[in-house]
Chain A
Amino acid sequence: MEVLPALLTGLALGSIYGLIALGFHITASVCGAVNFAQGSSAMLGAVLLWMLTQAGWPVPAAVVIAVTACALYGLIVERAAIRPFLMRKSDAWLMATVALGLVCDNGMMLVFGAEPRSVPSPLAQDAVRVGDIDLAIYPLHLLIPLVMLALAGGIDLFRRRTLHGVAMLAVAQNRDAAAIMGIPVGRVIAAAFGLSSALAGIAGMLVAPLSHVETGMGVTLGLKAFAVAILGGLDNARGVVVAALLFGLVEALVTLGVGSGYTQIVTFMLVIIVLAVRPDGLLGRAKVRKV
């Protein structure tokens, strides 16, 4: 009886990691850089949602504003912590994005305060019932995987069916050739960071009613999402989605089966084993090096 709720909850939490991990995938595939401030983007989305709804904004408007703000934050990350280093062919963007994330977390603490706050939602109040059976999950648990799959599918369609998406793919495949063809490479990379931060912001807003909002909430989310992105294959969106769902399921089932003391041990050992067998992730492709 405990297994089904654990499975559904695991899928929901895996989907949260998946949304953030898709952001890692998008920026890595476009410019080879990973935005380690993704966790702070998730926090920003949740905190802004709380602040706007507290200020009396209706939830739909608050969501739109918060997602837009997260996208703008992504543009700032690209401008301040990525572009200066990519132009000099330096890998210091790694530390710069970590540092910017910490600045954001601590800056928001000054505004929001250190105490966790609640984001109530009608989707996380009454458990879902099927006939006489109480599934012991909230409707939000069912909604989250659907949102993640819809957004992943939408991004896939965007990249294959729209001019801007194709431009993004072109930059991902060969930046110099894309520039020669007239594609504004800088803007495409900036847009990728905006999109990745927006996805993380949505993840933060979705998870907030299931837990609470605090300025440190993005740290663990970002770390697990990065593990998911590596597990699935940074260059493969489908791999990231599959890895996210698997990661969430394994977390929930290990906790249920052998106890929470073993959750992190077993989950991350599995990540290491998978990567030892498939160094480029579950569905990632090995990079071809020309000599």
Chain B
Amino acid sequence: MAILVPRRTILAGMIGGAAAALGGCSRSSDRIGVGLITALTAQSAKSGEAISRGITIAIDEINAAGGLLNRKLELIRRDDESSPAKGVIAARELLYKEGVAVLFGGLDTPVARAIVPIATAARTPFVVPWAAGTVITHNGTDPNYVFRVSAVDELVDKAMVAFARRTYAVRRPGLILLNTAWGQSNEKGLKAALAAAGLPLAGSEKFEHSDLDVTPQLGRLRAAGADCLLMVATVGPSAQVVKSLDQMGWDVPIVSHWGPAGGRFSELAGSHANRVKFVQTYSFFGADTPVRARVLAALKAKYPDITGPQDVTPAVGVANAYDAMHLAGLAIAAAGSQDGEAVRRGFIRIGRYEGLIKTYDAPFAHGQDALDEHDYVWAEFDGGRIVPLPLPGTMPSKAA
């Protein structure tokens, strides 16, 4: 049976739809959208939540101070589940449907790499607060819309070699790397850094995320005379390396990328977790600054699970994202509009900013990365806490 719909009803529906659409437009015009694409579920969810919290605290501060361009900032989050394909879909939605002024994202390097061409085509700044792959910012585009407030693999590799040399006086390090694109990328960087430092390589061994035993790989490195291990792996595999070393009874120092910092490394690796020294961009157990006190208080007030610095994990996710959001705010303010190209130029024009990690001075005037090896902090696990290493005089001073 056919259903007859009166013309007046159709007309009313059309008018209502148009009004709703216009309402949507007016909603979008009274706020500035900040997009975030990160892993909110799956194994990296905790790190994604840390990024989310860092951005949220910064947005709260900016909005409390009146917002930007007489508008409030609004965070719009999408879950990429650590999948580049899902990251690309989310990026298109946030850029073209939500019309965000700045896109944050890239917990995982492959996801960040997949988003770079989309953000570039949309002429919208893409800010990376975690993924360390060198190619993310060194992407060959001009103008370059990608800005990063995080570690950079190539620089971390150099820093790892320098730290190993300085702290352990190593003469023949070995590499133990997760067999992923991240591991392979760092293998190149570490070999180059070792060559530049004039250190011979004992060997380079890879292992899988699912490997239940790493003693054969470690046995080869020991047989080759390795006196220090340079490790690039995520939490579980890093713990497997420590457990395998315990099993072998091989007491060798481990200098690591920041993989162990992302989860329950100290629980998984057991009593010898603190033999791993790893790079960080920030520790809440470091110097007590006014910014640190303010951010920590805001985190405690907003998130009931945070009672102190020990609960802010992973700290680098919160700190990088917090500073990155404030820098993006300064870029939008400098641009005076939400136009992507103007905001990109705004990033380059950022002057001095007293952040959580450091005081930035024209952080993007000469490149796309706001942090370099002088900003890295070396840390270890003390129980379940990540604490900076007490190495007075040996740590490079922070850039002014």
- A: which residues have CB within 8 A of B? 2, 5-6, 9, 13, 16, 114-118, 120, 127, 134, 136-138, 207, 210-212, 214, 216-217, 219-221, 252, 255-256, 259-261
Q: Are A255 and B216 in contact (CB under 8 A)?
A: yes
Q: Are B212 and A211 in contact (CB under 8 A)?
A: yes
Given contacts A2-B219, A212-B236, is CB(A220)–CB(B210) below 8 Å? yes
Q: List 6 A-B contacts (CB under 8 A).
A: A13-B212, A114-B41, A114-B42, A211-B243, A214-B236, A255-B216
In angstroms, how far is the closest chain B Cβ from the Cβ of A228? 15
In angstroms, how far is the closest chain A Cβ from the Cβ of B245? 10
Q: Which of B179, B236, B240, B243 contacts A260 (CB 8 A)?
A: B179
Q: Are A219 and B215 in contact (CB under 8 A)?
A: no
B167 in the interface, Cβ–Cβ < 8 Å? no
Q: Are A210 and B268 in contact (CB under 8 A)?
A: no
Given contacts A116-B263, A137-B247, A260-B179, is CB(A5)–CB(B270) below 8 Å? no
B223 in the interface, Cβ–Cβ < 8 Å? yes
In angstroms, how far is the closest chain A Cβ from the Cβ of B69? 39
Given contacts A116-B268, A136-B247, A217-B210, is CB(A212)–CB(B216) below 8 Å? no
Give the interface SS of chain B, mostly helix, strand, loop or mixed: helix
In angstroms, how far is the closest chain A Cβ from the Cβ of B174? 12
Given contacts A13-B213, A210-B213, is CB(A118)–CB(B264) below 8 Å? yes
Give the size of the chain B interface in residues (CB under 8 angstroms). 36
List B178-227 residues whose CB lies under 8 Å from chain A. Answer: 179, 205-208, 210-213, 215-217, 219-220, 222-223
B249 in the interface, Cβ–Cβ < 8 Å? yes
- In whole angstroms, what is the CA distance A114 to B179 when docked? 21
Q: Are B268 and A2 in contact (CB under 8 A)?
A: no
Which residues of A sit under 8 angstroms from B207, Cβ to Cβ?
Answer: 260
In angstroms, how far is the closest chain B Cβ from the Cβ of A52? 17
B267 in the interface, Cβ–Cβ < 8 Å? yes
Given contacts A13-B212, A210-B213, A260-B217, is CB(A118)–CB(B270) below 8 Å? yes
Given contacts A211-B213, A211-B236, A260-B217, 6 further A-B pairs with CB under 8 A are: A9-B216, A118-B267, A127-B248, A210-B212, A255-B217, A260-B216
Residue interface mask B233-274, A partner, CB < 8 A = 1: 001100110010011110000000000000110011010000
Q: Are A114 and B216 in contact (CB under 8 A)?
A: no
B46 in the interface, Cβ–Cβ < 8 Å? yes
Q: Which of A2, A116, A137 contacts B236 (CB 8 A)?
A: A116
Q: Enumerate the 6 nearest inter-chain pairs by beta-carbon distance, A residue then B residue, closest first.
A: A255-B216, A2-B219, A220-B210, A256-B216, A116-B236, A114-B43
B45 in the interface, Cβ–Cβ < 8 Å? yes
- In whole angstroms, what is the CA distance A6 to B43 when docked? 31
Which residues of A sit under 8 angstroms from B246, Cβ to Cβ?
Answer: 127
In angstroms, how far is the closest chain B Cβ from the Cβ of A174? 40
Given contacts A127-B249, A259-B205, A260-B205, is CB(A116)–CB(B212) below 8 Å? no
Q: Are A115 and B213 in contact (CB under 8 A)?
A: no
Q: Which residue of B lies closest to A258 (CB)?
A: B220
